[in-house]
């Protein structure tokens, strides 16, 4: 039964909260060094990539110490030069027994250090690449941030290329990704909150937003939804997406993902939040609206007439990829009278040799194309050309000559395929790809009547969606005239004085009044030299 | 009552789509021959009067549905039964429109499809949408309003380019005096489509800004009246009175006259979109009113539980209400206006307004004294 009222978020799962607490009950470190080392060894099953280096801390006092770290996750040079060397060579005053505080304050030239007293805090630190220092006689360990190891460098984004715009793309490292955005928005009110999600994977997840611009209730809602998640692993931001969506049973995405730091920065400036997940270059953005999936970063850098025209083109392209084949089926099966006579004769002549009804014909071609596309995605590049050759044969001249499909159908399928590639956002393009088949079925059974009904259901469904409480179709429905400047049309930037009202709260003025339309005097028409006139 | 709010523009869109719904497709007020457009304008004025009665009632009880204030005015038992009668009326009207719509669809495009199938598909879509609530319905309305007017605009341009408009067909004005015009107004247009606005008494309490109810509704009614008038003017000036009278769907015939550059012709799909979208909103609003009202009378929560049962009732009623289309039309022209429309749209609301006025005056006196 579909819901009539907006369901308020269901009661908090108290049980999981309690379980979480239990897991983090304290189990303090021992004061004996050997016991601690032994405990680590048993807990990690003597894993071979754990390095345990014992040494005498100070020759004079015979204090035993050990450092523990994971090979590959730490920067070995840092560990060597900034931890082991100073500790071994340190020469404290003769009588003073060395204390932990001294060690942190006096000897170790590393930035991020903290004391750990509990195993439950120690293991996550160790596993994330920290180096742990034990000193015999202390039930406290020092954890120092020495994360390092192999990382992919910042490269041009693979999925969202822009003709004009930054060439930087996110990488798999969450720290790099956050810094890429910080480099664009250099402002202290860019706030981040980090939490770990995933019982087993302990994945780092960071919320980023602009304090004062993003709506506090949305951030609070996001926090609540994230805290509720209790799963074993988070491997990609898509995992989280499915847990924090408003409407999980829908073909349409209610969160946006981007690989571009500049896109993320732009969205943060409009009052959205960004959700970084360690291990993926895709950053989630929300709340999103439908029109956003038709926008691209270079829309804002090009002339606004051109961007507007391009956005219209993208909407057209979306509709073609959604109802292109369905329209052909409906027109040839039910409404032949609507096709101009000349064209009808041409189509009829072509279809004479085809043994299938146009629905079956379209289905064969569409499915073939989907197979080709699916095959093409994961093929090694060397085989790619082979696929394109075979593909061109299968859904091209050969199929027509074999009498399986009509030439008109080949054109329809080709246009549809190209259209679905031309949609800027992949996640909305695949929604259209799936719904296309439903439209084809409705067109085959009830012609335009079925298609229009399908279209009504689609619009009703889109209107019923929300993304973090923001209606999905805004600012078109509910209609917000002030925000039309950046929808399917794009007005000039100087006319875009306010942030979208449906996302940002009260603080929504983006540019000062005086910034208005640039009108230098020299450029207005019919410039006259006023002094000259007077004379 | 749902915990939902709609904006002024959304109400405007719903009023407009509701009015255009099925009235766009038939020859409205053709009894007055070439003066049909005057009949529509007069009907619009009648509709405004009916709306004012409803609006005064709304002003007395701005926060509750008619089903609630009927009980406040007439007492619990009587109020509940009167509200229930209204719900039956809405269900009946929904079924009527559905039948109209299904029959039209079959006559012009799907001759061999059974009526039951067409109606079932339509009602499924409607019930799904209604179950999403008024907010979603209103947002859908906003989008489709733009869509419909875009189609209308392009349609008008194409008709003009086709060069078939002959305004002489509208002359002479008032050939037979005012009598047939008044007669046609009182017999038809005042109830259909304008009097049917009575269903909006169930919708206006949802408006976020209650001060705007009056202006928005008035503008909506006037714009819809003018749109209908323009459509009729186009129909008559293109087809002539005779053809408009005889044609089953004048708008379809008008659209079929479009012929631009030997390529843009037979744009029947325009008509089909107008038919389906209009029918959808009209039936959906009736069913929504029936659902929310019935839920209110019998305190059913959530109201969406009633969508499918009431949808089923509407579907079956639409099949059984007449044994064939001529019978259905006859009922619609000679029985329904006087037996149903007149009491439910005019007599009851006026009486209610009188009672509400007396009751509230008494309250006021008690309050001040």
Cα A307 from Cα A303, distance rounded (Å): 6
Tokens of A359: 């629905």
Position A106 scores a pLDDT of 66
* A188 pLDDT more than 50: yes
Residue bearing the bigger pLDDT, A224 or A164: A224
Nearest to A192 by CA among A200, A204, A203: A204
Indicate if the pLDDT at residue A270 is higher than 80: yes
Query: Quick one: pLDDT at residue A20?
Result: 46
Would the pLDDT of A6 be above 50? no
Is the predicted ipTM greater than 0.95, yes or no?
A: no
Nearest to A338 among B262, B268, B280 (CB): B268
Q: Give dist(CA A254, CA A244) in Å, integer.
A: 10
- Show the 3-state SS of A43-58: HCCCCCCEEEEEEECC
Report the 10 Å Cβ neighbour count for A406: 25
Q: Which residues of A touch B276 (CB under 8 A)?
A: 449, 452-453, 456
Chain B residues touching A460 at Cβ < 8 A: 125, 128-129, 132, 136-137, 140
B147 pLDDT tier (thresholds 50, 70, 90): very high
Q: How much is the pLDDT for A400?
A: 84
Give the model's confidence band at B369: pLDDT under 50 very low, under 70 low, under 90 confident, else very high.
Answer: very low
Nearest to A2 among B9, B268, B304 (CB): B304
Residue A496 pLDDT = 79
Residues of A in contact with B123 (CB under 8 A): none
Res. B96 pLDDT band, cuts 50 70 90: very high
CA-based nearest distance B4→chain A, Å = 8
Determine the distance in angstroms separating the CA of A257 from the nearest CA of chain B, rounded to an integer.
26
CB contact under 8 A, A335 and B269: yes
With an 8 Å Cβ cutoff, are A449 and B121 in contact? yes
Does the beta-carbon distance from A477 to B140 stay under 8 Å? yes
Rounded distance between C-alpha atoms, residue B343 and residue B337, angstroms: 9
- The C-alpha atoms of residue B321 and residue B334 are separated, in whole angstroms, by 15
pLDDT of res. A99: 64
Would you say residue B362 has pLDDT above 90?
A: no
Q: A459 vs B143: CB contact, 8 Å cut-off?
A: yes
Instruction: Dump pLDDT digits (tens) for B263-276.
Output: 777 788 888 898 89
DSSP string over B309-358 = HHHHHHHHHHHHS-SSHHHHHHIIIIIHIIIIIIIIIIIHHHHHHHHHHH
Q: Minimal Cα–Cα distance from A341 to chain B, Å? A: 9
Higher pLDDT, A19 or A289: A289
If you measure CA to CA, which chain A residue comes closest to B132? A4
- Report the gap between the CA of A270 and the closest CA in chain B (Å): 23
Compute the nearest-CA separation of B171 from chain A (Å). 33
Task: Give the A-side interface with B, CB within 8 Å.
Answer: 1-6, 334-335, 337-338, 340, 446-450, 452-453, 456-457, 459-460, 463-464, 471, 473, 476-479
Mean pLDDT lowest for which of A214-218, A503-507, B317-321, B349-353? A503-507
Mean residue pLDDT across chain B: 88
pLDDT tens profile A119-144: 888 888 888 888 888 888 788 888 88
With bands split at pLDDT 50, 70 and 90, how would you rate the model's confidence at A5? very low
Q: Are B86 and B286 in contact (CB under 8 A)?
A: no
Backbone angles phi, psi at A460, to 5 degrees: -60, -45
- pLDDT above 50 for A19: no
A6, A447, A460 member nearest B129 (Cβ): A460
| pLDDT value for A394 | 73
pLDDT confidence tier of residue A524, bands split at 50, 70 and 90: low
Nearest CA in chain B to A335: B109
Beta pairing partners, A118: A28
| Three-state secondary structure call for residue A291 | helix
Stated as kind and residue range, the H or E segment containing A122 is: helix A119-127
**Which has the higher per-residue pLDDT, B211 or A518?**
B211
Min distance A339 CA to chain B CA atoms (Å): 8
Which pLDDT does position B118 carry in this prediction? 93
- Decide: B277 and B17 in contact? Cβ < 8 Å: yes
Residue A163 pLDDT exceeds 90: no
Is the separation of the CB atoms in B234 and B168 below 8 Å?
A: no
- Among chain B residues, the shortest Cα distance to A442 is held by B121
pLDDT of A10 > 50? The answer is: no
CB pairs under 8 A between A and B: 109
Tokens representing residue A326 in the block:
């369905």
* Residues of B at the A interface, defined by Cβ within 8 angstroms: 2-4, 7, 9-10, 105, 109-110, 113, 118, 121-122, 125, 128-129, 131-133, 136-140, 142-144, 262-263, 265-269, 272-273, 276-277, 280, 302-305
Cβ-based neighbour number of residue A342 at 10 Å: 10
Residues ≥6 apart with Cβ < 8 Å to B363: none
Which residue of chain B comes nearest to A454, CA vs CA?
B125
Identity of the residue in A2, A335, A471 whose CB atom sits nearest the CB atom of B132: A2
Residue A390 parent element (H or E): helix A381-394
For residue B110, the model assigns a pLDDT of 86
Give the integer Cα–Cα distance in Å for A250 and B26.
38
Average pLDDT estimate for B162-187: 84
Could you tell me how far CA B82 lies from the centroid of its own chain?
22
Indicate if the alpha-carbon torsion angle A454, A455, A461, A464 is positive or negative: negative
* Cα nearest neighbour of B12 on chain A: A479
Q: Is the peptide bond before A475 cis (omega within 30 degrees of 0)?
A: yes
Higher pLDDT, A1 or A443: A443
Q: Is A2–B268 a contact, with Cβ atoms under 8 angstroms apart? A: no
Q: CB–CB of A1 and B122 under 8 A? A: no
Q: How confident is the model at residue B226 (pLDDT cuts 50, 70, 90)?
A: very high
Answer yes or no: do A338 and B263 touch at CB < 8 A: no
d(CA B87, CA B94): 10
Whether the pLDDT of residue A58 is over 90: the answer is: no
Which of A328, A337, A460, A487 is the best mutation test for B, with the most CBs of B within 10 A?
A460
What is the distance between the alpha carbons of residues A183 and B238, in angstroms, rounded to a whole number? 66
pLDDT per position as a tens digit, A395-421:
778 888 888 888 888 899 989 989 988
Of A201, A151, A198, the residue nearest A177 (C-alpha): A151
Q: Transcribe A147-189 into DSSP letters.
A: B-S--PPP---SSS--SSS------S-HHHHHHHHHHHS--TT
CB contact under 8 A, B110 and A459: no
Identify the pLDDT of residue A100.
66
CA distances from A190 to A170, A232, A275, A278 (A): 18, 30, 13, 19
Candidates A451, A456, A471, A487, partner chain B, best to mutate (most B CBs within 10 A): A456
Nearest to A479 among B118, B142, B268 (CB): B142
On whether the CB atoms of residues A11 and B138 are closer than 8 A, the answer is no
Arithmetic mean of pLDDT, B91-102: 92
Question: What's the mean pLDDT when you consider all of chain A?
Answer: 84
How much of chain A, in percent, has pLDDT values that exceed 90? 32
Lowest-pLDDT choice from A292-296, B25-29, B310-314: B25-29
Contacts of B140 in chain A (CB under 8 A): 456, 459-460, 463, 477
Contact assignment for A463 to B143 by CB distance below 8 Å: yes
Q: Is a pLDDT exceeding 50 seen at residue A22?
A: no
Does A61 score more than 70 pLDDT? no
CATH of domain B8-324: 1.20.1740.10
């Amino acid at each position: 039964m579909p819901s009539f009222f907006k369901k308020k978020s269901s009661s908090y799962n108290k049980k999981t909260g309690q379980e979480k607490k239990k897991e983090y009950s304290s189990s303090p470190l021992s004061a004996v060094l050997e016991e601690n080392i032994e405990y680590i060894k048993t807990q990690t099953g003597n894993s071979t990539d754990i390095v345990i280096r014992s040494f005498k801390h100070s020759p004079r006092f015979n204090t035993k110490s050990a450092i523990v770290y994971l090979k590959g996750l730490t920067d070995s040079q840092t560990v060597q030069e900034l931890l082991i060397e100073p500790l071994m060579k340190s020469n404290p005053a003769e009588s003073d027994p060395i204390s932990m505080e001294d060690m942190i304050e006096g000897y170790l030239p590393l930035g991020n250090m903290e004391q750990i007293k509990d195993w439950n805090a120690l293991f996550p630190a160790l596993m994330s690449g920290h180096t742990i220092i034990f000193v015999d006689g202390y039930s406290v360990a020092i954890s120092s941030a020495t994360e390092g190891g192999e990382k992919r460098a910042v490269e041009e984004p693979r999925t969202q290329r822009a003709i004009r715009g930054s060439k930087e793309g996110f990488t798999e490292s969450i720290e790099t990704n956050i810094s890429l955005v910080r480099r664009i928005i250099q402002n202290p009110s860019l706030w981040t909150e980090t939490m770990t999600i995933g019982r087993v994977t302990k994945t780092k997840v960071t919320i980023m937003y602009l304090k004062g611009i993003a709506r506090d209730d949305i951030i609070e809602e996001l926090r609540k939804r994230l805290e509720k998640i209790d799963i074993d692993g988070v491997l990609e931001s898509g995992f989280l997406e499915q847990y924090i969506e408003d409407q999980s049973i829908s073909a349409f995405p209610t969160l946006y993902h981007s690989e571009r730091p500049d896109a993320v920065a732009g969205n943060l400036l409009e009052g959205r939040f960004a959700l970084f997940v360690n291990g993926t270059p895709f950053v989630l953005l929300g709340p999103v609206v439908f029109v956003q999936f038709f926008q691209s970063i270079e829309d804002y850098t090009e002339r606004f007439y051109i961007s507007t025209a391009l956005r219209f083109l993208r909407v057209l392209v979306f509709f073609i990829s959604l109802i292109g084949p369905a329209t052909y089926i409906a027109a040839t099966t039910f409404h032949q009278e609507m096709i101009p006579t000349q064209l009808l004769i041409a189509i009829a002549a072509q279809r004479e040799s085809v043994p299938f009804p146009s629905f079956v014909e379209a289905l064969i071609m569409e499915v073939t194309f989907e197979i080709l596309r699916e095959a093409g995605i994961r093929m090694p590049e060397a085989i790619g050309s082979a696929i394109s050759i075979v593909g061109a044969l299968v859904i091209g001249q050969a199929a027509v000559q074999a009498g399986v499909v009509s030439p008109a159908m080949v054109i329809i399928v080709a246009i549809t395929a190209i259209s679905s590639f031309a949609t800027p956002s992949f996640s909305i393009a695949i929604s259209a790809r799936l719904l296309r088949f439903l439209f084809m079925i409705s067109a085959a059974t009830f012609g335009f009547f079925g298609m229009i009904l399908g279209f009504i259901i689609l619009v009703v469904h889109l209107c019923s969606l929300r993304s973090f409480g923001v209606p999905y179709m805004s600012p078109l429905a509910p209609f917000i005239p002030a925000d039309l400047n950046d929808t399917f049309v794009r007005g000039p930037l100087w006319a875009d004085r306010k942030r979208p009202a449906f996302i940002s709260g009260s603080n929504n003025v983006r540019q000062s009044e005086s910034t208005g339309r640039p009108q230098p005097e020299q450029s207005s028409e019919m410039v006259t030299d006023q002094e000259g006139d007077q004379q | 009552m749902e915990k939902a709010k709609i904006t002024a523009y959304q109400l405007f869109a719903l009023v407009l789509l509701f009015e255009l719904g099925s009235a766009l497709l038939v020859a409205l007020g053709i009894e007055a021959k070439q003066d049909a457009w005057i009949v529509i304008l007069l009907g619009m004025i009648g509709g405004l009067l009916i709306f004012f009665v409803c609006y005064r009632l709304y002003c007395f009880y701005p926060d509750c549905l008619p089903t609630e204030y009927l009980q406040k005015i007439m007492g619990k038992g009587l109020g509940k039964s009167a509200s229930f009668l209204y719900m039956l009326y809405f269900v009946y009207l929904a079924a009527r429109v559905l039948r109209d719509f299904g029959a039209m669809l079959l006559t012009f495009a799907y001759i061999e499809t059974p009526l039951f199938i067409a109606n079932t598909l339509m009602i499924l879509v409607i019930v799904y949408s209604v179950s999403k609530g008024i907010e979603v319905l209103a947002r859908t309305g906003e989008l489709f309003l733009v869509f419909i007017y875009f189609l209308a605009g392009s349609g008008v341009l194409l008709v003009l380019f086709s060069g078939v408009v002959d305004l002489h067909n509208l002359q002479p004005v008032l050939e037979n005096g005012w009598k047939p015009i008044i007669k046609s107004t009182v017999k038809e247009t005042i109830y259909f489509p304008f009097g049917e606005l009575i269903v909006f008494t169930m919708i206006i309490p949802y408006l976020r800004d209650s001060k705007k109810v009056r202006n928005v509704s008035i503008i909506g009614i006037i714009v819809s009246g003018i749109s209908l008038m323009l459509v009729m003017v186009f129909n008559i000036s293109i087809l002539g009175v005779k053809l408009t009278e005889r044609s089953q769907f004048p708008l379809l015939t008008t659209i079929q006259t479009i012929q631009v550059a030997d390529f843009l012709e037979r744009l029947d799909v325009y008509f089909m979109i107008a038919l389906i979208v209009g029918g959808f909103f009209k039936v959906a609003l009736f069913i929504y009113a029936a659902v929310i009202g019935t839920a209110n009378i019998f305190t059913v929560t959530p109201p969406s539980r009633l969508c499918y049962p009431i949808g089923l009732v509407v579907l079956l009623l639409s099949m059984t209400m007449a044994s064939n289309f001529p019978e259905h039309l006859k009922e619609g022209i000679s029985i329904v206006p006087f037996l149903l429309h007149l009491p439910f749209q005019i007599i009851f609301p006026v009486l209610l307004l009188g009672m509400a006025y007396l009751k509230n005056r008494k309250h006021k006196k008690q309050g001040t004294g």
